Structure 1
Amino acid sequence: MGMVGCLGDIVFTVSDRTIETINNVTWSGSARYATHQRHGTHALTEFTGLDPDKMTFDIVLSAYLGVDPIAEVVKLWNYERGGIAVPLVIGNKGYGKYRWSVLDHKMKMKTYDGRGNVTSATVSVSLQEYLRG
């Protein structure tokens, strides 16, 4: 089994029985500036700090590839609704300075079985870096 990475207890893996990987990864950051208006001259710009980094990616979930889509989304849902910050590892590298919070998720349900259970879906996840105080 090849572990591609993980987000908390959600393991991204590739094996002969299971495929659960991420794609379309985007990592972004930004700086904060304040603009101070001055009478009769140019405004003064001041660097005030950094915003938390953000990361987005898609997770492809398929029962046909050994993954229960709903069970994995429930894990994300619990992180998001519980305000639980979790580590993010891709390959052998931990990302961020500490942990990540799940800001939101969007699940595109693609296929269902004969009883209406979701058998495949793509979940888009948005994270924000969570720093220790």
Structure 2
Amino acid sequence: MAVVGCLGEVIFQVSEEVVETLDNMSWSGSARYSTHQRHGANALTEFTGLDPDKITFDITLSVELGVDPMAEVTRLWGYERGGTAVPLTIGTHAYGKYRWNITKHEMKMKAFDRVGNITHATVSVSLQEYLRG
């Protein structure tokens, strides 16, 4: 088994039994500026800080690849709805300065079995950096 990384207890891995990896990962950041208007002169801009970084990615969940889609989505929902800050590691690299909160998810259900269980889905996850105070 090759562990690709993890988001909290969600393990990204590749083996003969399980394939669960991320795709379309994007990492973004931004700075904040204030504009101070001055009478009869150019406005001044002032750097006021950094916004939390954001990361988005997709996870393909499929019974055929050894993953229970609902179990993994339930775990992600737990982190999101509980406000749980979790580490994100890919390979040997820990991303961010501390941890991440899941701020949003979108699940595209692509296939179901004969009794209505999800057998194949893609989950898009949005993270926001969580720093220690």
Work out whether the TM-score is over 0.5: yes
TM-score range, shorter chain: over 0.9
In 1: Cα distance, 2:92 partner to 2:4 partner: 8
Confirm whether residue 117 of structure 1 aligns to residue 84 of structure 2.
no
The TM-score, its normalising length taken from structure 1, stands at 0.99
Partner secondary structure for residue 132 of structure 2: coil
Partner of 1:55: 55
Partner secondary structure for residue 95 of structure 2: strand
RMSD: 0.3
The TM-score, its normalising length taken from structure 2, stands at 0.99
In 2: Cα distance, 1:84 partner to 1:17 partner: 29
Partner secondary structure for residue 96 of structure 2: strand
Structure 2 unmatched ranges of 5 or more: none
In 1: Cα distance, 2:98 partner to 2:60 partner: 26
Shift of 1:91: 1.0
Confirm whether residue 24 of structure 1 aligns to residue 37 of structure 2.
no
Partner secondary structure for residue 32 of structure 1: strand
Confirm whether residue 82 of structure 1 aligns to residue 120 of structure 2.
no
In 1: Cα distance, 2:132 partner to 2:19 partner: 33
In 2: Cα distance, 1:40 partner to 1:83 partner: 47
In 1: Cα distance, 2:132 partner to 2:57 partner: 24
Structure 1 unmatched ranges of 5 or more: none
In 2: Cα distance, 1:36 partner to 1:112 partner: 56
- Counting aligned pairs with the same residue, the percent is 69
Partner secondary structure for residue 115 of structure 2: coil
